[in-house]
Homo-oligomer: A and B are copies of this chain.
Amino acid sequence: MAKFMDVHHGMAGITAEQLKQAHAADLRVEAGEGVHFEHAWADPESGTVYCLSEAPSKEAVQRAHNLAGHPADEVHPVPLSV
């Protein structure tokens, strides 16, 4: 398992409720891909959402987000953290 940070663009105007629902959708599908979405942070003004996950691969993160209905624009492995 490794850590990943993925980024969604084009989410301008996202509300707290929409972020909560999107994260809940991720949690419903993640087990099938062996992924766990730990946190998400959103900037409604620029329309950017960052998601931190633990996953077996970048592809697994992308598949889980696809299944949840919101493909990520970027998925970066982040093997280093402090």
Q: Which residues of A contact B (CB under 8 A)?
A: 3, 5, 14-16, 19-20, 23, 39-46, 48, 50, 52, 76-82
Across the A-B interface, the 7 shortest Cβ-Cβ residue pairs: A41-B78, A42-B80, A43-B76, A23-B82, A41-B81, A19-B80, A40-B82
Copies in the complex: 2
Query: Which chain B residues lie closer than 8 Å to A20 at the CB level?
Result: 82
Instruction: Give the contacting residue for A46; candidates B15, B76, B80; CB below 8 A.
Output: B76
Q: Are B14 and A80 in contact (CB under 8 A)?
A: yes
Give Cα A22–Cα B45 distance, bound, in whole angstroms: 28
Q: Is the CB of B79 within 8 A of A43?
A: yes
Q: How far is the CA of A67 from the CA of B16 in the complex (A)?
A: 33
CB–CB A19/B82 < 8 A: yes
